[in-house]
Amino acid sequence: MSEQRIEHVAVVGGGVIGLSIAWRAAAAGYRVRLIDPEPASGASHVAGGMLAPLAEAWPGEEELLELGSTSLNRWPEFADELARAAGRSSGLRREGTLMVGVDTADRAELDNVAGHLSDLGRSVNRLTGRQVRKLEPSLGPAVRGGLDVPGDLAVDNRVALDALCAAATAAGVELVPARATRVRPGAVELEGTTVDCDVAVISAGAHSGPLHPALGDRIRPVKGEILRLCRRATALPPPTRTVRGPVHGRPAYLVPRDDGGLVLGATQYEVGFDTEVTVGGVRDLLADAEAVMPGIAEYQLVEATAGLRPSTEDNLPIIGSLEPGVLAATGHHRGGFLLTPVTVDAVLAMLRGEEPEPLIKATDPSRFGGQQ
């Protein structure tokens, strides 16, 4: 791809990744069409919006932590730019994350995370249950220990998506409200027609696989259910920080919203393209959240939804060239919002014909072998 040739960019998929790429590419002077039957729906609409690479750090996933930490550092500037471009709030919250544990095994896992982060030179503070409740008085007596992770942020996914839609529109992105069926060099095929382009970017999340043979079965859907609560007049206020488990070994989280809302998540099932909310999922989400914060019993249950995370075998996204004129920016698993700034920067560099920064190497589609 030489710099001179690229004028028309087609972005396939209007989640947080696709919208961000479309906005930033249009703002950089490309003529951008965004292809999605319903932008800002799907997994990005369901997401909790945690920007928490540290709280999610896991031994053996150092490349993901590096990507996440780098992207997290860019979020404040990304959010400022977004708010300016959209003329509205980006939805970013800067209160940090509190990890909590309920039983002995949970506390042992907190020790593991604390030890791992400390080995990596990250500062975290181990807390007693009493110290946790001093920081967040709404947390209940079942919380026996915690970990303060001050660097991690959160974003209200729906506020951010609204802002991204506004910014994309303001930058001149043209929406093509249709479903893409196939992407090839020079064109995106829709049902019955095609959209011509110099470069196509596949950012269709869990639905990316069928769009290009190099993606194929590299991306599998991992279902996640979340609940949206709203504080009622008589109820205790929500925590100010994002609070996350392990709660009896299950990865629970409570993410506060600026409007008094509280998002509970998230289940994980590998059951294919199924977005139905199950009784068992709701039961577990409520039980785990109530163990951490008993006061939610008096909250209103506003919404129960499920989305499909686009997952890969190594939990790293797929960012890079699939063949000349076709880029992938997908497979972000649990980290679509978190990894948006670093993904957008990489894709914009590729559009300009530049080499993306070195840490993007780990996400290159060629790592699976054979297909590239």
**Contacts with its own copies, residue ranges (CB under 8 A):** 229, 232, 276-280, 282-283, 286-287, 290, 296-301, 304
Q: Which helix (H) or strand (E) segment is 137 a member of?
A: none
Name the DSSP letter for residue 356: P
Residue 328's DSSP bridge partners are 202, 320
Task: Kindly tell me which of 120 and 286 has the beta carbon lying closer to its own copies.
Answer: 286
**269-303 as b/e, with b when 16 or more CB fall inside 10 Å?**
eeeeeebebbeebbebbbebbbbbbebbeebeeee
Nearest distance from residue 202's CB to its own copies, in Å? 31
Amino acid identity of residue 280, one-letter, is G
Q: Which one, 105 or 301, has the nearer CB to its own copies?
A: 301
Residue with smaller CB distance to its own copies, 2 or 234: 234
Encoding tokens for residue 278?
A: 């199950």
| Contact (CB, 8 A) for 101 and 246 | yes
- Residue 281 beta carbon to its own copies: minimum distance, rounded to whole angstroms: 8
CB of 306 to its own copies, least distance (A): 10
> Which CB atom, from 28 or from 287, has the smaller least distance to its own copies?
287
- Using a 10 angstrom Cβ sphere, with 0-12 exposed, 13-18 middle and 19 or more buried, the burial of residue 234 is exposed
Rounded to the nearest whole angstrom, what is the least distance from the CB of residue 253 to its own copies in the complex? 16
Question: For its own copies, which is the closer residue by CB, 135 or 282?
Answer: 282
157 contacts 255 by C-beta, under 8 angstroms: no
Which residues neighbour 161 within 8 Å (Cβ) at sequence distance 6 or greater? 16, 19, 40, 44, 45
- Residue 62 CA to residue 126 CA, distance in Å, equals 22
Whether the CB-CB separation of 52 and 191 falls below 8 Å is answered with: no
Neighbours of 207 (CB within 10 A): 21
CB of 236 to its own copies, least distance (A): 12
Torsion over CA of 274, 277, 283 and 288, rounded to 10 degrees? 70
> Among residues 365, 362, 352, which one has the least CA distance to residue 199?
352
| Closer by beta carbon to its own copies, 134 or else 232 | 232
Q: Shortest gap between Cβ of 290 and its own copies (angstroms)?
A: 7
Q: Report the residue number, 24 or 223, with the smaller CB distance to its own copies.
A: 223
Whole-number minimum distance, CB 235 to its own copies, in Å? 9
Q: Which is nearer to its own copies, 194 or 275 (CB)?
A: 275
**C-beta of residue 16 within 8 angstroms of C-beta of residue 157:** yes
Tell the smallest beta-carbon distance from residue 91 to its own copies (Å).
Answer: 24
Tell the residue number behind the tokens 């929406």, with chain if given. 175
